[in-house]
């Protein structure tokens, strides 16, 4: 089996990045985001990116750092409400935005990873989401055609991984990461803990190694997106 582990994020991305590419990024809010890989993409200077991700990070963390440097041309997301720079760029016409309902975005990634070019869904029918898209009736109900997503590069973050590239996610990080991992022509993962091959219980593996081409062990900040407290 080819060597999949790399010393750091920059080395893991070497030869994969180019201007105008498409990237799918895992995570839910700031939970389970591949922060080391995002930073390395920023530092590479690659530009005109189309990024598929449920969220767009915050102003100084996650995908927000790529927006700060104006490396992103287009975002395809379901929720972007925590990022003031995103709002500024979109309202000024500097950034393209394609909104997807959250479940539709997830299924588009899953479909692309499964080799399914498109599917019909009721979600979004009769709204701006369906504008310009093919619709069809099934049993008297109108559905809209959505395309599967296949990207040049998928980046994900897992709790544990082994040298073969098998991955295990923890709690909320299991939301979009497993779907993202399948839809990249190349998938690069960062993990909190890199274990020996055979240490992961086969029945507990969420992303099999066949989907992962490269991985690193990263250091993670685990920032809280919204902190709400009350007086004791």
Write down the pTM of the prediction: 0.93
161 falls within a domain: yes
223 falls within a domain: no
140 falls within a domain: no
Q: Which residues contact 229 (CB under 8 A, 6 or more apart)?
A: none
230 falls within a domain: no
Residue 81's pLDDT is 77
pLDDT < 70 stretches in the chain: 1
CATH of the domain at 30: 3.40.1080.10
User: What is the C-alpha separation between 15 and 186, in angstroms, rounded?
Assistant: 11
101 falls within a domain: yes
What token pair was written down for 225? 């997106």
Query: 3-state secondary structure string, the chain?
Result: CCCCECCCHHHHCCCCCCCCCEEEECCECCECCCHHHHHHHHHHCCCCEEEECCCCCECCECCHHHHHCCCEEEEEECCCCCCHHHHHHHHCCCCEEEECCHHHHHHHHHHHHCCCCEEEECCCCCCHHHCCCCEEEECCEEEEEEECCCEEEEEEEEEEEECCCCEECCHHHHCCHHHHHHCEEEEEEEEEEEECCCCCCHHHCCECHHHCCEEEECCCCCCCCCCCCCCC
Residue 124's pLDDT is 95
Residue 1's pLDDT is 64
131 falls within a domain: no
Instruction: Give me the number of domains the chain comprises.
Output: 1
231 falls within a domain: no
Q: What is the pLDDT of residues 37-53, one digit of tens each?
A: 999 999 999 999 999 99
Domain range for residue 152? Answer: 9-117+148-217
181 falls within a domain: yes
Residue 228's pLDDT is 80
Residue 82's pLDDT is 78
């Amino acid at each position: 089996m080819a060597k999949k582990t790399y010393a750091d994020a920059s080395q893991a991305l070497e030869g994969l990045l180019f201007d105008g590419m498409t990237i799918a990024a895992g995570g839910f809010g700031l939970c389970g985001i591949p922060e080391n890989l995002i930073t390395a993409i920023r530092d590479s200077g690659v530009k005109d990116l189309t990024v598929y991700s449920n969220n767009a990070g915050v102003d100084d963390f996650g995908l927000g750092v790529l927006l700060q440097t104006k490396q992103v041309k287009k975002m395809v997301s379901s929720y972007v409400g925590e990022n003031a720079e995103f709002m500024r760029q979109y309202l000024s016409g500097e950034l393209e935005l394609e909104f997807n309902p959250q479940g539709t975005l997830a299924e588009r990634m899953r479909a692309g990873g499964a080799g399914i070019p498109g599917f019909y869904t009721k979600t979004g029918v009769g709204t701006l989401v369906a504008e310009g898209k093919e619709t069809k009736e099934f049993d008297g109900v109108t559905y809209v055609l959505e395309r599967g997503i296949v990207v040049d590069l998928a980046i994900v973050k897992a709790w544990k991984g082994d040298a073969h590239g098998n991955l295990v996610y923890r709690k909320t990080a299991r939301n979009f990461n497993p779907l993202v991992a399948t839809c990249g022509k190349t998938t690069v993962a960062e993990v909190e803990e890199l274990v020996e091959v055979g240490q992961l219980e086969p029945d507990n593996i969420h992303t099999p190694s066949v989907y992962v081409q490269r991985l690193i062990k990263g250091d993670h900040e685990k920032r809280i997106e919204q902190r709400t407290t009350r007086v004791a």
